[in-house]
Amino acid sequence: MSSESGGTEPGRNKKRKSDTPVADFSDEDEETKHAPYLKKNHIRSYPENSPGNVFPVFIQSTKETIKFGNKDPIYINNIFSRYIKGIKEIKRINALRYAVIFDNAKNANSLLKNSTFLLSHDIKAFIPAATSECVGVLKYIPTDLSCKHLFDKLISSQEILAVRRFTKRSSEGIIPLQTVSVTFSGNVLPEHVNYGLCIVPVEAYIKPVVQCYKCMAFGHTTKFCKRNIVCSICSQPHSFKECTNVNKPHCVNCKGEHIAVSRTCPVKQQKINENKSKIMNKTTLGSFFPTLNKSFAKAAESKDLNNKNMLIDVINNELIIKAIVDTLLSLCNKENSLPINSSTIKEMFLKKVCKDG
């Protein structure tokens, strides 16, 4: 998986267990060993019982020459209102696509799977990956393991959709690294995956900053840039290859004395931190109630009858269970802008307990 910033990127599911005790990689092609491996025939869809009431499905033509977003809105309204149920509204996104917005996940998923309707109108339907998938990172994975092998062997609490190995470019060509990214179904990252008997921690994947190498601005790529060329060294309107001021760097973004692609640039650092914040504001299943989880585990392992009785009382308390479920649903709500941390979770949980009590 390659990034626009110059780099190259990259539970327990019983269906993925293997009976082979020792891995055999002799039949794997060296040229394709590190190619990304994706689940075959996977159709991205919204998780069942997803919270919220806005579920967009993007629609565009299957033919590259046709700009579906420029179609007559009356025509769009007629074909969808006649054949598709549960539509809340339809919005034009750009020249290529429309967004068909549903009020629940079930209706949105029905359109994604309605091959008869899609084929008859030469259109394809899809949803953004961020709405139904999350990406984690595994470290210290031997480079002799292919992505396909990892896909087959890894066991997770959430379905694994893809495995990609990080690589880097060098004078010797593309070199595989001991880091891989794993795409999971759902919006919550598992804390770990299993490889045989080994527990492998899963870290959040932080997307690299997207920077245009034509105008040096952030947020878009050279392919879609309509601005004038800017030198990454001196900020003048010429290519860096033609620059005669290599000893006097001047950043076009922050006006500092460094090249525009430097990681030391305050503007670039801010963009990097923004990407980190977007990921760190999310959480994993096990971190919703860390203190409560530890108490449960301690009580379950203890021979103390009082602890066991306390655990049973908590589990059988409908008020507490309902408050936990309501808190989880509130945290997963796409329209909820509250920060996810221990203080927020405790406050939200106590409010729901007191309200229902």
Quick one: pLDDT at residue 42?
Answer: 86
Quick one: pLDDT at residue 331?
Answer: 66
Quick one: pLDDT at residue 292?
Answer: 41
Nearest to 214 by CA among 231, 198, 193, 235: 231
Q: Are 138 and 193 in contact (CB under 8 A)?
A: yes
Average pLDDT of the residues in 62-83: 92
The 3 state secondary structure assigned to the chain is: CECCCCCECCCCCHHHCCCCCCCCCCCCCCCCCCCCEECCCCCCCCCCCCCCCCEEEEEEECCCCCCHHHCCHHHHHHHHHHHCCCEEEEEECCCCEEEEEECCHHHHHHHHCCHHHHHHCCEEEECCHHHCEEEEEEECCCCCCCHHHHHHHEECCCCEEEEEEEEEEECCEEEEEEEEEEEEECCCECCEEEECCEEEECEECCCCCCECCCCCCECCCHHHCCCCCCCCCCCCCCCHHHCCCCCCCCCCCCCCCCCCCCCCCHHHHHHHHHHHHHHHCCCEHHHCCHHHHHHHHHHHHCCCHHHHHHHHHHHHCHHHHHHHHHHHHHHHCCCCCCCCCHHHHHHHHHHHHHHHC
Is the confidence at residue 1, as pLDDT, over 90? no
pLDDT tens digit sequence for 265-311: 999 999 988 888 777 655 444 444 444 444 444 444 454 555 555 55
Q: Is the dihedral of CA 219, 225, 231, 235 positive or negative?
A: negative
In this predicted structure, which of 129-133, 175-179, 188-192, 300-304 has the lowest mean pLDDT?
300-304
Q: Are 158 and 184 in contact (CB under 8 A)?
A: yes
Location of structure tokens 């070199």:
175
Quick one: pLDDT at residue 79?
Answer: 92
Is the confidence at residue 52, as pLDDT, over 60? yes
Backbone angles phi, psi at 326, to 5 degrees: -60, -40
Quick one: pLDDT at residue 342?
Answer: 57
Q: What is the DSSP letter of 137?
A: E
Location of structure tokens 């046709």:
66
Distance (Å, whole) CA 116 – CA 119:
5
pTM of the model: 0.61
Q: Are 236 and 227 in contact (CB under 8 A)?
A: no
Cβ neighbours of 244 (radius 10 Å): 11
Three-state DSSP state, 274: helix
Quick one: pLDDT at residue 7?
Answer: 40
Average pLDDT of the residues in 205-229: 92
Is the confidence at residue 339, as pLDDT, over 80? no
Instruction: At 127, list the tokens.
Output: 């949803």
Beta-strand pair 123-126/55-61: antiparallel
Distance (Å, whole) CA 210 – CA 268:
10
Quick one: pLDDT at residue 346?
Answer: 64
Distance (Å, whole) CA 245 – CA 7:
26
Quick one: pLDDT at residue 314?
Answer: 60
Quick one: pLDDT at residue 189?
Answer: 86
